[in-house]
């Protein structure tokens, strides 16, 4: 199996460091994460974690938060989608864990560097098929059940895989970092379905399309686990990114925004833009508009003001917050838990591995807490949450019972 030839090195521009200091951007936290703590102390086993989470979700609203909806707001990260076969960032098999040199593309280099866009779209082209085929897992369906039973009022997700809105369309989901299911033109604001864009990429890059077909036929893309793909000469990263060492990324082509091509927009400086394509319809670097980007918040890109406000409002009207599958390593997510803490909301965290600043979340939780005032456990959500749902259903059917039945069917 060979990648298309004619490789040449690409040296992307450095991101604008000063712009990365602005608040409400998607900025990765590169400092070391603490080892996970356990709250309460008996939440150090699957059975203990299930019991603590059941108490956390079923506890009444704190008296200091009288004007809330009495429900929990969820904040989810890449860890919740690992059981769907997707890569995460900082899990035990995460990209940052196994590939210390990995660096995601930054917004400024994407919008300003044609070569960087070639590289991004080539890798995304290879990774999209498996991402598109992936489905929600048991954790997403458990979230649906918790929403239907009134325990969860809203979901804020950092994930861009669209699993939450697919699994529970009736439970409000705020996609904090956008989504990969469509593209956005940075000049005219036009949206384009990703499946249509994928077909355009295939038409413009027949050699790459043949390479992708060969990888799919041989099963080279069947696993998102980095070690498995590395054995096959590939490097997999989150958000459908597949890196093929020594691949000729500079040969890759991508289409122009069809709206800009038909009606070139006026630029912010008042001048008329120019959109040019080659004979096959590929975007030309002589253009001054017509650049499409994924409808995600890239690293170094600001979150829209409306999304920021909606996330804050979701925190403010909830009675407690539960973080699932996130190390809170991006400021846009961490600040929401900080806001919850400042409002004296009980905080729950279900995440394998350490979480940024987690010690401060539980510093004032009393020692005799049974999970009602806070919970922190290091378990897999897809294995734990379904049984939490069963326990809550049992409590709802027998409200006078103070203890849940012992479960013997938890497999880890």
- Contact between 55 and 374 (Cβ < 8 Å): no
Task: Output the pLDDT for position 86.
Answer: 82
324, pLDDT greater than 60: yes
Lowest mean pLDDT among 54-63, 120-129, 212-221, 280-289: 212-221
The Cα–Cα gap between 300 and 108 comes to: 7
1, pLDDT greater than 80: no
Mean pLDDT, the chain, whole residue set: 85
Instruction: Note the pLDDT tens digit of each residue in 141-156.
Output: 999 999 999 999 999 9
Percent residues over pLDDT 90 in the chain: 67
Percent residues over pLDDT 70 in the chain: 79
233, pLDDT greater than 60: no
Q: Does the annotation count 191 as an active-site position?
A: no
Stretch 378-386: mean pLDDT, rounded? 97
Confidence of residue 398 (pLDDT cuts 50, 70, 90): confident
Nearby residues of 114 by Cβ (< 8 Å), 6 or more positions away? 285
State whether the Cα torsion 376-382-385-391 is positive or negative. negative
State whether the Cα torsion 131-93-164-176 is positive or negative. negative
Confidence of residue 169 (pLDDT cuts 50, 70, 90): very high
Lowest mean pLDDT among 110-114, 151-155, 213-217, 239-243: 239-243
Q: How many CA atoms lie within 13 A of 104 on its CB side?
A: 22
Stretch 197-222: mean pLDDT, rounded? 87
Instruction: Note the pLDDT tens digit of each residue in 326-340.
Output: 999 888 999 999 999
13, pLDDT greater than 80: no
- Contact between 174 and 307 (Cβ < 8 Å): yes
Choose the catalytic residue: 177, 187, 225, 344. 177
Confidence of residue 5 (pLDDT cuts 50, 70, 90): very low
Between 289 and 129, the more confident residue is 289
Task: Output the pLDDT for position 22.
Answer: 43
Q: How many CA atoms lie within 13 A of 143 on its CB side?
A: 35
32, pLDDT greater than 90: no
Instruction: Note the pLDDT tens digit of each residue in 290-301.
Output: 999 999 999 899
The model carries a pTM of 0.84
236, pLDDT greater than 60: no
Task: Output the pLDDT for position 67.
Answer: 81
At 185, give phi and psi (nearest 5°).
-80, 130
Task: Output the pLDDT for position 215.
Answer: 79
163, pLDDT greater than 90: yes
The Cα–Cα gap between 163 and 360 comes to: 31
């Amino acid at each position: 199996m060979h990648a298309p030839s004619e490789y040449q090195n690409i040296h992307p521009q450095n991101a604008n460091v000063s712009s990365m200091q602005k608040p409400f951007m998607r900025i990765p936290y590169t400092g070391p994460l603490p080892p996970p703590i356990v709250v309460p102390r008996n939440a150090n086993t699957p059975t203990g974690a299930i019991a603590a989470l059941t108490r956390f979700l079923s506890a009444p609203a704190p008296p200091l938060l009288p004007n809330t909806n009495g429900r929990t707001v969820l904040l989810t990260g890449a860890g919740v989608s690992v059981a769907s076969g997707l890569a995460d960032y900082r899990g035990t098999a995460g990209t940052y864990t196994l590939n210390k040199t990995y660096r995601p593309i930054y917004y400024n280099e994407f919008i300003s560097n044609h070569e960087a866009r070639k590289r991004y779209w080539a890798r995304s082209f290879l990774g999209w098929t498996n991402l598109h085929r992936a489905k929600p897992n048991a954790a997403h369906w458990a979230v649906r059940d918790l929403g239907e039973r009134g325990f969860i009022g809203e979901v804020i997700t950092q994930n861009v895989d669209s699993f939450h809105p697919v699994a529970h369309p009736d439970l409000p989901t705020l996609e904090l970092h956008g989504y990969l299911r469509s593209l956005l033109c940075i000049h005219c604001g036009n949206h384009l379905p990703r499946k249509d864009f994928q077909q355009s990429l295939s038409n413009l890059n027949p050699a790459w399309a043949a390479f992708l077909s060969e990888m799919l036929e041989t099963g080279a893309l069947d696993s998102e686990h980095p070690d498995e793909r590395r054995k096959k000469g590939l490097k997999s990263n989150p958000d459908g990114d597949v890196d093929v060492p020594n691949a000729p990324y500079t040969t890759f082509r991508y289409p122009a925004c069809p709206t800009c091509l038909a009606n070139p927009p006026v630029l912010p400086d008042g001048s008329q833009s120019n959109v040019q394509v080659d004979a096959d319809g590929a975007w030309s670097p002589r253009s001054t508009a017509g650049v499409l980007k994924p409808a995600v918040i890239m690293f170094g890109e600001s979150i829209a003001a409306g999304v920021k406000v909606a996330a804050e409002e979701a925190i403010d009207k909830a009675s407690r917050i539960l973080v699932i599958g996130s190390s809170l390593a991006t400021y846009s997510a961490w600040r929401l838990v900080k806001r919850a803490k400042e409002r004296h909301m009980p905080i729950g965290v279900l995440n394998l591995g350490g979480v940024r600043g987690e010690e401060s979340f539980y510093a004032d939780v009393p020692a005799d807490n049974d999970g009602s005032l806070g919970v922190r456990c290091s378990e897999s959500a897809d294995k734990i949450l379904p049984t939490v749902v069963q326990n809550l259903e049992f409590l709802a059917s027998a409200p006078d019972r103070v203890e849940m039945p012992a479960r013997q069917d938890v497999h880890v």
